[in-house]
Amino acid sequence: MLTAIGRAFRTQDLRRKLLFTLLILAIYRLGVFIPAPGVSYENVQQCLNMNVTQGGAYQFVNLFSGGALLQVSIFALGIMPYITASIIVQLLRVIIPRFQELHEEGQTGQAKLTQWTRYLTIALGILNATTLITTARTGALFNHQCPLPVIPNDDIVTILLMIITLTAGTALMMWMGELITERGVGNGMSLLIFISIASGFPAAMDAIIKAKGWGVFTLVLVIGLAIVVGVVFVEQSQRRIPVQYAKRMIGRRSYGGTTTYIPLKVNMAGVIPVIFASSMLYLPSLLAQFNTPTGPGETPPGWVQWINTYLVRGDHPVYMAVYFLLIIFFTYFYVTITFNPDEVADNMTKYGGFIPGVRAGRPTAQYLSHVISRITLPGALYLGLIAAVPLVALVWVGANQNFPFGGTSILIMVGVGLETVKQIDAQLQQRHYEGLLR
């Protein structure tokens, strides 16, 4: 392994890309600890040291920002506005025909869609920055358990400056991610999320040691290793649909006559259903938070009490069941809108391809739909079980919902790690007979 890494750094072009990627990631991690203007750094640190409990959504966004959210730094919003904008633009392809046309135009259309994604990212950044500042001013960011003011001077000039700074931080992160994609190694946005999640592992493992001791810590490592192996196995699993192309004579040359396959992954939706389910579960708690009375002696309405009892605590069976069912629903929903069997069947017919034993055209689309529906079920159950690991750990270990070996964190880290290793391996094989891993 060390020999392979040394071979990668001895290749001049690859070494330059690796060092550039590491430099951008280091700059990003530095920005996580720079407080936004108007924020009292001392008060924020004291609030963090109080170990106040957080809502699931705050923990979720804080996970993607590498701890920058609760520190209210210049990168507090993280890359979440860009992720949300990318998902929205992708979903709009189903609703707006123009977006679908741009998607089919190739590189030119993709560039326009990317530009729309950037504009939407800035708009969502402004909205998220306003929400974050509001929660910081009212004390909801630390669940009203920290008496110290996060923003001591909350005049209009300071608030506007904070909104501009937080939005600019999101735009800067988006630019750095695109720089890594163009000049570095791997997907820039994915690597920023990867380093954000990885930065929280030492603190999470240390919290387990302090809470339960070395015995539970060792058991957690063993279980974590087993989860990683299982995630790698499922993420690499695919159903290969054989496709044959008829031989055609064009002039004096013969084309076609080859056999290939369509790779259908077991987990075609990736981590998107987990993000959707977490966001949907956050909405009831957000509504309940805005309808909770603040005066002395006032009692919240019955529906607010029900939400606070069943849909806020991650260790409640109702919360776990609803979370699991939402993940299954959104897995089917996302696969349905991203994989179009009719389009695949039409492209196969256009280029003279067919699935052995299946007629071209409508029967091919029906066959692909049948296969997709069958492999999506184990993929959905797999996502639901992996996402439930932190909730079970919340009961068993007493950890928070950012339990390191499970849920969104492990799915993203394993997926990004596999993709980055593949890219480095491909670039090494272009220059050497051996890749990164033998």
- Going along the chain from its start, the domains and CATH numbers come out as 1-199+433-438 (1.10.3370.10), 201-405 (1.10.3370.10)
Return left, alpha or beta for 139; rule: phi > 0 is left, psi -120 to 50 is alpha, else beta.
left
Position with higher pLDDT, 314 vs 135:
135
Give pLDDT, residue 429.
Answer: 75
pLDDT in tens, 142-190: 767 777 888 888 889 989 999 999 999 999 999 999 899 888 888 888 8
CA dihedral 165, 170, 176, 178 (to 10 degrees): -140
Position with higher pLDDT, 390 vs 235:
235
For residue 321, is pLDDT > 90? no
For residue 292, is pLDDT > 90? no
Report how far residue 133's alpha carbon sits from residue 163's, in angstroms, rounded to the nearest whole number.
8
For residue 204, give the H/E element and its range: helix 201-236
Three-state DSSP at 377 gives helix
For residue 314, is pLDDT > 70? no
- pLDDT-wise least confident of 163-177, 346-360, 388-402: 388-402
The answer to whether the CB of 73 falls within 8 A of the CB of 124 is no
Give pLDDT, residue 303.
Answer: 75
Give pLDDT, residue 179.
Answer: 92
pLDDT in tens, 399-422: 554 566 666 778 888 888 888 888
pLDDT in tens, 4-31: 667 667 777 888 888 999 999 999 988 8
pTM (predicted TM-score): 0.78
Give pLDDT, residue 204.
Answer: 76
Three-state DSSP at 408 gives helix
> Which structure tokens are listed for 253?
């040359």
Question: Mean of the per-residue pLDDT values for the chain?
Answer: 80
- Supply the DSSP string of 60-106, one letter for each residue: HHHHHTTTHHHHTBTTTTTTHHHHHHHHHHHHHHHH-HHHHHHHHTT
Report the percent of the chain where pLDDT is more than 70. Answer: 83
Report how far residue 401's alpha carbon sits from residue 383's, in angstroms, rounded to the nearest whole number.
16
For residue 326, is pLDDT > 60? yes
Report how far residue 56's alpha carbon sits from residue 321's, in angstroms, rounded to the nearest whole number.
15
